[in-house]
Amino acid sequence: MSPPAIILCTLNAKYIHASLGLRYLLANMARHGSAELRAATVLREFTIARPAAAIVEALLGELGEAADGWPQIVGFGVYIWNVAATTEVVRLLKAARPALKIVLGGPEVSHEWENQEIVRLADHLITGWGDVSFPKLCRALRHGPPPLMKVMPGEQAGLEQVDLPYAEYSADDLAHRLLYVEASRGCPFKCEFCLSALDKRAWAFAEERFLAALDDLFQRGARNFKFVDRTFNLKIDSSLRILQFFLDRLTPDLFLHFEVVPDHLPERLKAMIARFPPGVLQFEVGIQTFSPEVQQRISRRQDNDKTCANLAWLVKHSHAHLHTDLIFGLPGETLASFGAGFDRLYALGPHEIQLGVLKRLRGTPIARHSAAFGMRYEAAPPYTVQQTAAVDAPTVQRFTRLARYWDLLANSGRFPQTLPLLLAGPSPFAALLACSDWLWQTTGQTSGLTPEMLVDRLFDYLTGVIGLAAEQVRPLLLADYLASGARANPACLHGLLKDRAKPLPRATRALAERQDRHGGAAR
């Protein structure tokens, strides 16, 4: 078998992620390149955990020696999470095979690319959309005329000229990985921390064409769909058609993830959402900040009252699992104003509150606030804010620890009985911050904390620091520990963990945990 002419490659954060962007490029090789190029193109994905030398060995082993005299091409998808590792892969590839043509694309290299080492090492860079431009570039590199520019803007063709990528998901992808799909591209909103702020509008794929592709995936056995649309509920008629499509195909293992605009939930969409059983719908709800001044400063349009009303409705009247997001470190946001926003969101009872720290993505308009608001960011990916005029560096570090502890204590779902006790009082955020400070002082670590260590530390904090009675705390921790499925023996529960039922088989336990995680009751 002849070696490939073109390898499409990326380094994913985890194996479970399957690159949608590379599959678009593969699907469009014949239409915008040639049938010959499509037949000679393969897709290879690795993870960032794999050593660069091992990735290079695998790529070179597959490429072999070009038999037709034309250059071989490796195209890399470059993102904020893989740019460092990909740079090393490209460096080693070019050292080992200088004639190899390296083509880059992806959001991390589409903006502010002039001084990036990976761009210096590569032969070509396509900024922006690559569906049409990458196949055309490959055709030019293989058959001429040779391209004159190293850096070229991607051609933003109409979506009707872009072939859908879903047939490129393999049977193994369908069985073991998250399947990313998109009903639309772009975003009409201008939130300055997001690259979508650069979009002029949103573009929707033709519904019949998109739904037919979804049906093909479903018929092949796909049951796990993660929509990457920035605003799934922007156009309600389209949202309803997609939801109805899945309602007509409900199965016990169906799982759907959508990112939704929190203040846009009309009654007919609520009625459709309410029809889904537990464990099917997961909504990513970006709140980011409740401060009107900060919202206005970063060009974020959000009706806070409608947002809260819609979240309250979803918690009370739907089975959707709610992942809500807040961002710390936005220009002008203080620790106190962030805490007030956290308290407001926590009171609504979403299943998870994901606490992030602001990152200055290349090309985003948030950079315009750097001088006026004292914004300082890390120079290396992921460009996390280090301090602002409103929060100094120690405060950012303090919050980062808090966010990690919050994941362990709350988002993990391990302490549903104990958490309300921990966060009781006029400000849940203030209670969480005090516990976080104590955990750091007493453990000195934010990772490597086992479930048993957390149980014992919570017991010590609630009884020894807050002063609650052991008889009040211990039964809650016992109930949480038993429900979590953990099998060791925390010191504070000594003598209480006898005669437990044998644990469920691993596969059965994993399914039960998934159903509980995505369909459990909110606080």
Write out pLDDT tens, residues 319-355: 999 999 999 999 999 999 999 999 999 999 999 999 9
Task: Tell me whether domains 6-159 and 178-391 share a fold.
Answer: no
Please tell me the predicted confidence (pLDDT) of residue 200: 82
Domain boundaries, the chain: 6-159, 178-391, 414-523
Start-to-end CA distance of the chain, whole Å, equals 58
Contacts of 418 (CB under 8 A, 6+ apart): 458, 462, 473, 476, 477, 480
* CA-closest candidate to residue 233, choices 310, 158, 290: 310
Q: Class for domain 178-391, per CATH?
A: alpha beta
Q: pLDDT tens digits for 414-431?
A: 999 999 999 999 999 999
Angle at 507 between CA 505 and CA 508, to 5 degrees: 65
Please tell me the predicted confidence (pLDDT) of residue 161: 97
Please tell me the predicted confidence (pLDDT) of residue 479: 96
Please tell me the predicted confidence (pLDDT) of residue 513: 53
Q: CA-CA distance, 418 to 435, in Å (whole number)?
A: 13
Please tell me the predicted confidence (pLDDT) of residue 521: 39
Tens-level pLDDT at each residue, the chain (523 residues): 788 999 999 999 999 999 999 999 999 999 999 999 999 999 999 999 999 999 999 999 999 876 666 899 999 999 999 999 999 999 999 999 999 999 999 999 999 999 999 999 999 999 999 999 999 999 999 988 999 999 999 999 999 999 999 999 999 999 999 999 999 999 989 999 999 999 888 999 999 999 999 999 999 999 999 999 999 999 999 999 999 999 999 999 999 999 999 999 999 999 999 999 999 999 999 999 999 999 999 999 999 999 999 999 999 999 999 999 999 999 999 999 999 999 999 999 999 999 999 999 999 999 999 999 999 999 999 999 999 999 999 999 999 999 999 999 999 999 999 999 999 999 999 999 999 999 999 999 999 999 999 999 999 999 999 999 999 999 999 999 999 988 899 999 999 987 654 444 443 344 345 335 334 434 4
E strand spans, 264-401: 281-288, 321-328, 352-357, 376-377, 385-387
- Containing 73, the helix (H) or strand (E) segment is strand 73-77
Q: CA-CA distance, 200 to 27, in Å (whole number)?
A: 26
What residues form DSSP beta bridges with 185? 203
Omega cis (within 30) before 277? no
Q: What is the pTM of this model?
A: 0.92
Q: Which CATH number fits domain 6-159: 2.40.40.20, 3.40.630.30, 3.30.1310.10, 3.40.50.280?
A: 3.40.50.280
If 0-12 CB within 10 Å is exposed, 13-18 middle and 19+ buried, where does residue 236 land?
Answer: middle
Three-state helix/strand/coil letters over 281-307? EEEEEEEECCCHHHHHHCCCCCCHHHH
Beta strand 352-357 pairing with 281-288:
unpaired
Q: pLDDT tens digits for 110-153?
A: 999 999 999 999 999 999 999 999 999 999 999 889 999 999 99
Maximum Cα interatomic distance, the chain, rounded to a whole number of Å: 80
Mean pLDDT value across the chain: 93
Q: CA-CA distance, 460 to 452, in Å (whole number)?
A: 12
Quick one: how many helices (H) and strands (E) in the chain? Answer: 20, 16
Name the amino acid, one letter, at 112. E
Please tell me the predicted confidence (pLDDT) of residue 499: 60
Please tell me the predicted confidence (pLDDT) of residue 514: 38
Q: CA-CA distance, 332 to 336, in Å (whole number)?
A: 11
If 0-12 CB within 10 Å is exposed, 13-18 middle and 19+ buried, where does residue 305 land?
Answer: exposed
Please tell me the predicted confidence (pLDDT) of residue 515: 39
* CA-closest candidate to residue 19, choices 50, 46, 52, 55: 46
E strand spans, 158-312: 179-181, 184-186, 202-204, 224-227, 255-260, 281-288
CB 78 within 8 A of CB 108: yes
DSSP assignment of 427-482 equals -HHHHHHHHHHHHHHHH--SSS--HHHHHHHHHHIIIIIS---HHHHHHHHHHHHH
- Containing 151, the helix (H) or strand (E) segment is strand 151-153
Tell me which residue has tokens 């083509």: 103
CB 45 within 8 A of CB 80: no
CA 308 centroid distance within chain: 23
CA 45 centroid distance within chain: 18
